[in-house]
């Protein structure tokens, strides 16, 4: 007899931003750019930047604790912790293991997942499988980044775009017909050359030369990433909606990756959605990579923009190139 898969929902959310905000006017003093140019091209007005003593796990830990509190779940109840990040504290151990120690989740397995800005959505889909099959009951998924530590602050093409932060969600079983209705993930490795960090891995280990050549910073072909994003955001959203048996007209709220206001507006236009139904916070937090969607989701949930029974679509794209989307019938 075939075992029926369980419905999986979001039980609670949390987020964390560093204390320091870096405005466009601050950037004008650091690199050849202007507030007006950044806003016109990206929609970003400021971003949050972690201090030298704050690592990715620190932000992830605070977001995790807030999500657990919101879900009314104790750390000891967690079966698994997934941290989606491209800026781990270190190569070893996994940042998820550091978070596990910090919050006292002594019964949880833990690992990191790297799909750049799509990481949280990948993590959601992975977590869903563990819970749906009955292997685990409670899974904590975190997207966390300290991108400021891997940005070249002399490169105006990248340093204006990104910020630091963390967002988290606790997943668990929910009533049938609620929670995650469908998911999609995708990748195009041919586009990996458009967004990457050359040095620091096994291909190009750290050396005096790699540091001198500034190869430990994010490199991006902005125009190619923009074209990819405009194409894939709407496509992924439509695909995941179709898998769920819903249509664009059924969407109550869209939570997109916060990369660029022109990309978000383009996706909304392709979906023929009222921008009022789209959560936008990149003006204040910029692109926080894997933390982008969960921070936006937490904001939308805590401000009451998302209500029980709403159909919520989360969609994102990132380096790899990767993309992912989830359709959720909000169960909280």
Q: Report the catalytic residues.
A: 117, 257, 287
Q: Are 37 and 134 in contact (CB under 8 A)?
A: no
Residue tagged 């967002």 (tokens): 167
Q: Are 163 and 87 in contact (CB under 8 A)?
A: no
Q: Tell me the sheet residues that pair with 167.
A: 15, 143
DSSP structure string for 52-65:
TT--HHHHHHHHHH
Q: Are 85 and 145 in contact (CB under 8 A)?
A: yes
Q: Judging by beta carbons within 10 Å of its beta carbon (0-12, 13-18, 19+), is residue 186 exposed, middle or buried?
A: middle
> What are the residue ranges of helices labelled H in the chain?
24-28, 35-42, 56-71, 95-103, 119-132, 156-159, 208-212, 222-244, 261-270, 282-285, 292-302
């Amino acid at each position: 007899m075939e075992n029926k898969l369980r419905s999986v929902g979001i039980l609670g959310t949390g987020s964390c931003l560093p204390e320091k905000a870096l405005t466009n006017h601050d950037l004008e003093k650091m690199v050849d750019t202007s507030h007006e140019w950044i806003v016109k091209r990206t929609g970003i007005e400021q971003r949050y930047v972690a201090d030298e003593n704050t690592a990715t796990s620190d932000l992830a830990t605070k977001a995790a604790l807030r999500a657990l509190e919101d879900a009314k779940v104790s750390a000891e109840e967690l079966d698994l912790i997934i941290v989606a990040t491209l800026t781990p504290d270190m190569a070893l151990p996994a940042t998820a293991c550091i978070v596990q120690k910090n919050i006292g989740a002594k019964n949880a397995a833990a690992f990191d997942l790297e799909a750049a800005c799509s990481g949280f959505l990948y993590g959601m889909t992975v977590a869903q499988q563990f819970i749906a099959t009955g292997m685990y009951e409670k899974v904590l998924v975190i997207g966390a980044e300290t991108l400021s530590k891997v940005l070249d602050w002399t490169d105006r093409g990248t340093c204006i775009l990104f910020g630091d932060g963390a967002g988290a969600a606790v997943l668990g079983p929910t009533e049938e017909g609620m929670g995650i209705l469908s998911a999609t993930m995708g990748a195009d490795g041919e586009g990996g050359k458009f967004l990457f960090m050359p040095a620091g891995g096994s291909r190009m280990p750290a050396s005096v030369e790699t540091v001198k050549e500034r190869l430990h910073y994010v490199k991006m072909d902005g125009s190619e990433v923009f074209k990819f994003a405009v194409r894939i955001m709407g496509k992924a959203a439509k695909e995941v909606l179709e898998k769920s048996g819903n249509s664009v007209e059924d969407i109550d709220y869209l939570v997109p990756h916060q990369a660029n206001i022109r990309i978000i507006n383009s996706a909304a236009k392709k979906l023929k959605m009222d921008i009022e139904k789209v959560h936008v916070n990149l003006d204040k937090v910029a692109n926080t990579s894997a933390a982008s969607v969960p921070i936006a989701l937490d904001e939308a949930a805590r401000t009451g923009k998302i209500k029980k029974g709403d159909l919520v679509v989360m969609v994102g794209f990132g380096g790899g190139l990767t993309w992912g989307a989830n359709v959720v019938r909000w169960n909280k």
